[in-house]
Amino acid sequence: MRIPFDRLILLALPLALGACGDQQIAAYRIPKEKEPELAPAAAHAHGNSGTTPPAAGENAAPGMGSGMAGTAVATASGPGLTWVAPAHWQSKAGSAMRKGSYAIPGDGGVMADLAITAFPGDVGGEVANVNRWRGQIQLPPLPEAAVAAAVTRLEHNGLRMGVVDLVSTGANPTRVLGAWIPHEGSTWFVKLTGPDGLVAKEKPAFLEFLQTIKPAAQP
């Protein structure tokens, strides 16, 4: 079949037009602007009854610590989670990206740290997250099957949770009790880190704490 040249041109025109787009570099002068305010970290204003702020995109991100040169990282958006912390956990000023932050005092002045963070997506998946925590206490990464075997599955208030208990080796071992909670397209992490003895003692309180976590909208 012979297609006339003018029709070919006509049919090719949309392809050429389709390549056009609004990709112009703009240069302009504006009056001096104020730097955006960094919102204070959540949960602290509520004592031990933590409540996450209503997510509102980038402006709702908590502030970064001083080590971050005043730059803030956006955390997960979407509906948040609420929780009730045990009375002896001390709510503390948050640092980078934390939705909640607690200090847990032990005997002899030792302290454990509990951090609640949230990120969009699955943050690389279960295996990557567990191995990241293992890496933080100098443990070698585990293959997928071994990670799956190490995870305890829980479900509270309609939230599915994965929990791991990791202990480092050495003279003064560090223990990490970590839980992750997929919620509304984000993953929430609850991580208790501290000296082995103290974290082991706090394990029942940690597991009870997980039971109090529920979606913000739930009464």
Q: Per-residue string for binding with other proteins, 78-117, x by CB under 8 A?
A: x-----------------xx--------------------
Nearest-CA neighbor of 166 among 151, 154, 145?
A: 151
Annotate 121-130 with b (16+ C-beta within 10 A) or e (fewer): eebeebbebb
From 56, 93, 110, 111, residue interacting with other proteins (rule: CB under 8 A)? 56
In the complex, the smallest distance separating the C-beta of residue 179 from other proteins, rounded to whole angstroms, is 17
From 1, 3, 30, 149, residue interacting with other proteins (rule: CB under 8 A)? 30
In the complex, the smallest distance separating the C-beta of residue 10 from other proteins, rounded to whole angstroms, is 8
User: Does the footprint of other proteins cover residue 22 (CB under 8 A)?
Assistant: yes
Q: Which is nearer to other proteins, 53 or 197 (CB)?
A: 53
Find the length of the chain: 219
Select the span of 35-43, 151-159, 167-175, 211-219 touching other proteins (CB under 8 A): 35-43
Distances (CA, A) of 14 to 5, 20, 21, 24, 95: 15, 10, 13, 21, 53
In the complex, the smallest distance separating the C-beta of residue 23 from other proteins, rounded to whole angstroms, is 5
Strand, helix or coil for residue 203: helix
Give the footprint of other proteins on residues 179-208 (CB under 8 A): 185
Are 150 and 142 a contacting pair, CB within 8 Å? Answer: yes
Q: Which is nearer to other proteins, 66 or 87 (CB)?
A: 66
In the complex, the smallest distance separating the C-beta of residue 155 from other proteins, rounded to whole angstroms, is 25
Are 110 and 195 a contacting pair, CB within 8 Å? Answer: yes
Are 80 and 52 a contacting pair, CB within 8 Å? Answer: yes
Q: How many residues sit close enough to other proteins to count as binding (CB under 8 A)? A: 50
How far from the centroid of its chain's Cα atoms is residue 176's Cα? Answer: 16
Task: Give 183's Cβ-side CA count (13 Å radius).
Answer: 28
Residue numbers of the site for other proteins (CB under 8 A)? Answer: 4, 6-7, 14-15, 17-18, 21-33, 35-36, 38, 54, 56-59, 61, 67-74, 77-78, 96-97, 119-121, 123-124, 132, 135-136, 185
